[in-house]
Amino acid sequence: MRSKEDSMGFKGVMTAAAMVAVILLFASRGGAEDPQADLYQKSVDLEAVGKYQDALDALEKISGVRSGTYMYHLRRGWLLYLKGSYADSITAYEAAAKKEPGSIEALLGIMLPQLAARRWLDAEKTGKKVLETDSQNYLANSRLAYAYYNLGLWKQAEEHYRKVLSRYPGDIDMRSGFGWSLFKQGKHEQAKDEFRRILEVAPKHAAALEGIGLCP
């Protein structure tokens, strides 16, 4: 069953598959005789079995020029996020962003530990920075919606959920967040309609069941 956080739009794992794919590609370029690339591969393998601290330890054995690259800091930020070291994760992602000032993925990375640490206002600031470059970015809009929801800014949350749904109308978790943002504003009939749409295709969706049960 999905957690309530996932159902409200905080999809922290969405970047994981893409990140691992990039790391594997990056590591493969070093060749079989490259011990630094082997450390990247070892880190990826350890992450895959949930050994996040060991994966981080392997990564941090990388030395020299490669220990200061964008990819190094990006991966370090991700692993620190996975193991719950949110402040250190933010610092690592910020180091990646400094290496590549135009990087949207580094900013999206920063939002993950900010949201996990409930630093809603910081996440808002970072998300807005992404939207300055990419106004339709799915992750930035969905995470902003989640941040606004937790700040009690229901109208702003509604606006960003609506923006995502205009392009991804089949996203059930975004629709759930949208329904809840309507509910919190007292728009119970509209909220009920959204929860019904979810339950037509996902009858056991926990957040939608809870929401429709609370609607008068």
Q: What's the pLDDT tens digit per position in 173-191?
A: 999 999 999 999 999 999 9
Residue the block writes with tokens 């990388």: 62
Q: What does the alpha-carbon distance between residue 38 and residue 29 come to, in Å, rounded to a whole number? A: 11
pLDDT at 7 over 70: no
> For residue 203, what pLDDT is reported?
97
Q: Do domains 4-151 and 154-216 have the same CATH topology?
A: yes
Query: DSSP strand E in the chain: where?
Result: none
pLDDT at 13 over 90: no
**pLDDT above 70 as % of the chain:** 85
pLDDT at 115 over 60: yes
The domain ranges of the chain are 4-151, 154-216
The answer to whether 2 and 206 are in contact (CB under 8 A) is yes
The predicted model gives 104-126 an average pLDDT of 98
The answer to whether 93 and 113 are in contact (CB under 8 A) is yes
pLDDT at 206 over 90: yes
The answer to whether 186 and 180 are in contact (CB under 8 A) is no
Q: Which two tokens stand for residue 84?
A: 């719950």
Residue the block writes with tokens 């402040």: 87
The answer to whether 130 and 108 are in contact (CB under 8 A) is yes
Q: What does the alpha-carbon distance between residue 130 and residue 123 come to, in Å, rounded to a whole number? A: 11
Q: What's the pLDDT tens digit per position in 132-183?
A: 999 999 999 999 999 999 999 999 999 999 999 999 999 999 999 999 999 9
> For residue 33, what pLDDT is reported?
73
> For residue 66, what pLDDT is reported?
86
The answer to whether 172 and 200 are in contact (CB under 8 A) is no
pLDDT band for position 61 (50/70/90)?
A: very high
The predicted model gives 82-93 an average pLDDT of 98
Written as one string, the DSSP assignment of 46-105 is: HHHTT-HHHHHHHHTT--GGGGGSHHHHHHHHHHHHHTT-HHHHHHHHHHHHHHSTT-HH
The answer to whether 146 and 119 are in contact (CB under 8 A) is no
pLDDT at 30 over 90: no
pLDDT at 23 over 80: no
Considering the segment(s) 4-151 as one domain, its CATH architecture is: Alpha Horseshoe (1.25)
Could you confirm whether domain 154-216 is CATH 3.40.50.300?
no
